[in-house]
Amino acid sequence: MPGKSLRLNQEHIIGFICIAISLVILSITPTFPKGKAAIGLTGPAFFPNLLALIYIVCGIYQLWYGTIKATEFSSLTFTAFKNLFNKKETQTAYLVIIMMVGFILLFDFLGFILTTYLFLFLFMRRLGVSVLHSLFYSFILTGTIYFLFGWLFTISLPSGILSYVGL
């Protein structure tokens, strides 16, 4: 059909994800204990199953919608996919995500002060803040958060390896 493309687009992807989530739910819920229908006691699977069925309908609609309105959405070609990773700003966003993963992994081990300072310094450097400013603002922010959360609100923040030096 001229002007119409049946290639994969974002609406299709959303549809597939909805159906996949529903199938995962429907494959897990049979292991849940059963309810007692005679007294109206629904089991733990009742509500998730109901939602999974709604999600399947949503998914099918998205697949249908993505197909009939195919011309309105750009197809997911290899070039489009590659462009997602090529843009410098997008790369920075991915790097920030990796930094956050590192923050989570090191938080308990290095402790609040070291992890926060290191995270903020690297974050600011990546976003173009000068070395001196990064060092200074990381110190100020770490100190402010420590004062507010640790001291004022008495929330226990992990000391990590600094606990060995008595901090």
Partner 1 sequence: METILSVLRIEILIPWLLSMVLGIFVGAMPGLTATMAVALIVPLTFHTPPIVGLAMILGVSFTSIFAGDIPATFLRVPGTPASGAAVLDGYEMNKQGKGPLAIALDLICSTLGGLIGVLILITVSPVLASFALKFTHFEYFWLALLGLSMSAVITKGSTMKGLISMVGGLILSTIGLDISTGYPRFSFGSTYLMGGINFIPVMIGLFGISEVLRSISVTSLEDMGNAAVTTNVKADFRSVGTVMARNKRLILQSSLIGTLIGALPGAGADIAAWVSYGMAKKTSKKPETFGSGSEEGVIAPTTANNAALGGTWIPALVFGIPGDSITAIVLGAMMMYGLKPGPLVFQGDRVLVNQIFTVAVISQFFLLILGYLGIRAFTWFFKFPRNIVLAGITIFSLIGAYAMRSSVFDIGIVLVFGILGYLMERVTIPLPPFILGLILGPMIEENLRIGLVKTSGNFWPFFTRPISAFFAATLILIFLYEPIKLLIRKKLARRTNL
Reduced to 3 states, what is the DSSP secondary structure of residue 24? Answer: helix
Rounded to an integer, what distance in angstroms lies between the CA atom of residue 147 and that of residue 153? 8
- Residue 118 found at the interface with partner 1 (CB under 8 A): no
CB 151 → partner 1: shortest distance, Å?
13
Per-residue mark of binding to partner 1, 147-166 (x: CB under 8 A): -xx---x-xxx---------
> By CB under 8 A, is residue 80 in contact with partner 1?
no
CB 150 within 8 A of CB 112: yes
Residues 47-76 that bind partner 1 (CB under 8 A): 47-48, 51-52, 54-55, 58, 61-62, 65
Size of the site for partner 1 (CB under 8 A): 62
Task: Tell me the per-residue interface mask from 90 to 109 with partner 1, x by CB under 8 A, - otherwise.
Answer: x-xx--xx--xx-xx--xx-
Question: Burial of 112 by CB count in 10 Å (0-12 exposed, 13-18 middle, 19+ buried)?
Answer: buried
Q: How far is the CB of 33 from partner 1 (least distance, A)?
A: 6
Cβ within 8 Å of residue 101, ≥6 positions away: none
